[in-house]
C-alpha cells in the first residue's frame, strides 16, 4: 500500500504543477458541453453533474487518473515486478506531459484513459486473486464506462473481455454471466440518457468518410473510372484541391513532417470540406449512405492507396511533435508555400508550444517504443498458436490490444498521437514485462 499512496500523490502533485499542452476548452469541448448528438452522453452528463463548473471537472479527472496509475503500480507489485521497474513505469507516465495534459482539458480522453488503466490493473491482478467476485463486477463496470465514453473503446473492451473469459471459462460460468450483465449497466444508462434528450444519434463517422474520400482522390495513381457518373461528379468538386495538397506532400522528404500533414489535411477535409469544393456548399443529394458507398467503391478500386494512407496514419500515431519540430525548417529550406495554411491552423486547435529539444526527445522516445512494440507484435503473431503465447498471457494479449486499437484507428480515422495515448500505459507495461522477464532469465 505505501507504493499505491506514493504513486497516487506523486501523480496528483506532479500533474498539478506541470504545464499543459492544451487549454481547458478545446475545439471539440463545446460538443460535449452542449451535449451534441454526435457525442455519447455520459461525459456531458458528468459535466452537468458538476453544474458546468469546468474546474471541478478538471480536478475530478486528475484525481481519477492518479488513482488509475496508482492502481497499475499496485497491480505490477502484486505480479512481483521489481520496484525499480515499477518506478521507471511511473517516471515515464509523469514525464509524458502530453499524456497527462488530457486531465486538464474538457475532453473524454482523460476518463477514457483512466478507466482503461483501471481495467488493465484489474485484469493483471485477477488471475491470482481471491477476490474474483468483486473484481469481475468492477471489471464489467470499468469496461462499460469506456464503451460509454468513446466508440473506439469497443475494441479494447472486447479484447480485455476475452482475457477475462479465458481466465474463467473452465472455472465459473456464472461469474462470466454476472460480468457481462455488469458491463451492460453503464451503456444502457447512456443510451437512455441520450434518447431522453435527443431524437436521433448522429456520428462523426460521416466526417471521417468525407476526409478519406478527399485524401484518397488526390493520390497520383487514384483511379475512379469504374465509379458511377454521380460518384465521379462528387469527387470532381474537390479533386483539384486534393491533388494540390498531395503534390505538396510528395515534395516533403521528411517522413515525420509528411505523415503528420497527411493526417492534418484529412482533418481539415473532415470539418471544412466545403472550402475545397468548387461551389462551396454540399449538395443535398450526397447523402450519408451515398458517401459510405462511395468510399467502399473507392477502396475496392484502389486498395493499395487506402492501405498506403492508413500506413501513413499508423506511423503518425508514433510521431508526436513531427509537424511542430520540422515544418518551419522545411518551408524555409524548400521555399514552398503551405496549401490552405489558414484551414490547417483553424483545425489544429490551440496546442501550446514547447522547446524543440523537448519535442525531439519525445519523438525519439516514441520511435523507440514503436520499434519495440512492432518487434513484439511480430513475435506474438509467430507464437500465436503455440504455448509461448499462453506462457506470458499478459504480454501477448496487451500487445494484441495495442496494435488492434492502433490499426483500427489508422484505417477508420486519422493518425494522431492523441489516439495512441489510451494504450500508452499498456505499451510501457509491455516494456516493463519484457525487461522483467529478461532479468529473471539472466539471474
Give the mean model confidence (pLDDT) for residues 135-161. Answer: 95
User: Is the separation of the CB atoms in 55 and 391 below 8 Å?
Assistant: no
Give the list of residues 6+ apart from residue 343 with CB closer than 8 angstroms, or none: 268, 272, 275
- Name the residue among 136, 64, 99, 153 with its Cα closest to residue 427: 99
Residue 283 predicted with pLDDT over 70: no
**Residue 36's pLDDT band (cuts 50, 70, 90):** confident
Residue 282 predicted with pLDDT over 70: no
Residue 190 predicted with pLDDT over 80: yes
Highest-confidence segment of 256-265, 283-292, 418-427: 418-427
205-234 residues labelled b (16+ CB within 10 A) or e (exposed): ebbbbbbbbbbbbbbeebebeebeeebeeb
Percent of the chain residues topping a pLDDT of 90: 60
Percent of the chain residues topping a pLDDT of 70: 93
Q: What is the residue-averaged pLDDT of the chain?
A: 89
Residue 158 predicted with pLDDT over 60: yes
Q: What is the pLDDT of residue 211?
A: 92
C-alpha cell at 357: 529539444
Q: What is the pLDDT of residue 64?
A: 97
Highest-confidence segment of 296-310, 338-352, 383-397: 296-310
Residue 329 predicted with pLDDT over 90: no
**Helix, strand and coil in the chain, % to nearest 5:** 75, 0, 25
pLDDT tens sequence across 421-434: 999 999 999 999 99
Neighbours of 150 (CB within 10 A): 21
Q: What is the pLDDT of residue 238?
A: 86
Amino acid at each position: 500500500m505505501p507504493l499505491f499512496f506514493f504513486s497516487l500523490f506523486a501523480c496528483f502533485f506532479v500533474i498539478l504543477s506541470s504545464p499543459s499542452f492544451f487549454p481547458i476548452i478545446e475545439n471539440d469541448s463545446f460538443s460535449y458541453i452542449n451535449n451534441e448528438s454526435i457525442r455519447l452522453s455520459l461525459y456531458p452528463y458528468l459535466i452537468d453533474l458538476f453544474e458546468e463548473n469546468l474546474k471541478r471537472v478538471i480536478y475530478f479527472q486528475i484525481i481519477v487518473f492518479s488513482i488509475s496509475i496508482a492502481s497499475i503500480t499496485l497491480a505490477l507489485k502484486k505480479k512481483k515486478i521489481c520496484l525499480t521497474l515499477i518506478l521507471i513505469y511511473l517516471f515515464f507516465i509523469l514525464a509524458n506531459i502530453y499524456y497527462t495534459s488530457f486531465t486538464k482539458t474538457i475532453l473524454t480522453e482523460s476518463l477514457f484513459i483512466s478507466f482503461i488503466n483501471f481495467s488493465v490493473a484489474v485484469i493483471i491482478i485477477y488471475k491470482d486473486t481471491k477476490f474474483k467476485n468483486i473484481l469481475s463486477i468492477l471489471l464489467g463496470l470499468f469496461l462499460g464506462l469506456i464503451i460509454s465514453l468513446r466508440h473506439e473503446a469497443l475494441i479494447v473492451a472486447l479484447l480485455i473481455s476475452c482475457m477475462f473469459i479465458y481466465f474463467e471459462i473452465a472455472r465459473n460460468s456464472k461469474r462470466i454471466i454476472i460480468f457481462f450483465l455488469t458491463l451492460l449497466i453503464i451503456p444502457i444508462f447512456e443510451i437512455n440518457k441520450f434518447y431522453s434528450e435527443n431524437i436521433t444519434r448522429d456520428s462523426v463517422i460521416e466526417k471521417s468518410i468525407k476526409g478519406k474520400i478527399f485524401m484518397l482522390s488526390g493520390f497520383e495513381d487514384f483511379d475512379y473510372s469504374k465509379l458511377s457518373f454521380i460518384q465521379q461528379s462528387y469527387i470532381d468538386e474537390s479533386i483539384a484541391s486534393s491533388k494540390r495538397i498531395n503534390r505538396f506532400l510528395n515534395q516533403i522528404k521528411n517522413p515525420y513532417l509528411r505523415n503528420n500533414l497527411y493526417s492534418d489535411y484529412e482533418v481539415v477535409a473532415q470539418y471544412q470540406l466545403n472550402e475545397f469544393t468548387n461551389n462551396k456548399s454540399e449538395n443535398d443529394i450526397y447523402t450519408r449512405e451515398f458517401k459510405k458507398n462511395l468510399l467502399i467503391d473507392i477502396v475496392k478500386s484502389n486498395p493499395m492507396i487506402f492501405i498506403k494512407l492508413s500506413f501513413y496514419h499508423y506511423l503518425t500515431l508514433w510521431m508526436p511533435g513531427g509537424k511542430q519540430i520540422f515544418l518551419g525548417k522545411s518551408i524555409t529550406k524548400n521555399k514552398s508555400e503551405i496549401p490552405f495554411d489558414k484551414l490547417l491552423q483553424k483545425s489544429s486547435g490551440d496546442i501550446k508550444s514547447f522547446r524543440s529539444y523537448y519535442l525531439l526527445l519525445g519523438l525519439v522516445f516514441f520511435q523507440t517504443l514503436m520499434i519495440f512494440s512492432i518487434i513484439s507484435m511480430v513475435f506474438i503473431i509467430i507464437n500465436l498458436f503455440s504455448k509461448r503465447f499462453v506462457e506470458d498471457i499478459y504480454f501477448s494479449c496487451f500487445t494484441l490490444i495495442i496494435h488492434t486499437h492502433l490499426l483500427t484507428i489508422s484505417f477508420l480515422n486519422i493518425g494522431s498521437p492523441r489516439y495512441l495515448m489510451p494504450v500508452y500505459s499498456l505499451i510501457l507495461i509491455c516494456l516493463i514485462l519484457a525487461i522483467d522477464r529478461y532479468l529473471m532469465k539472466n539471474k
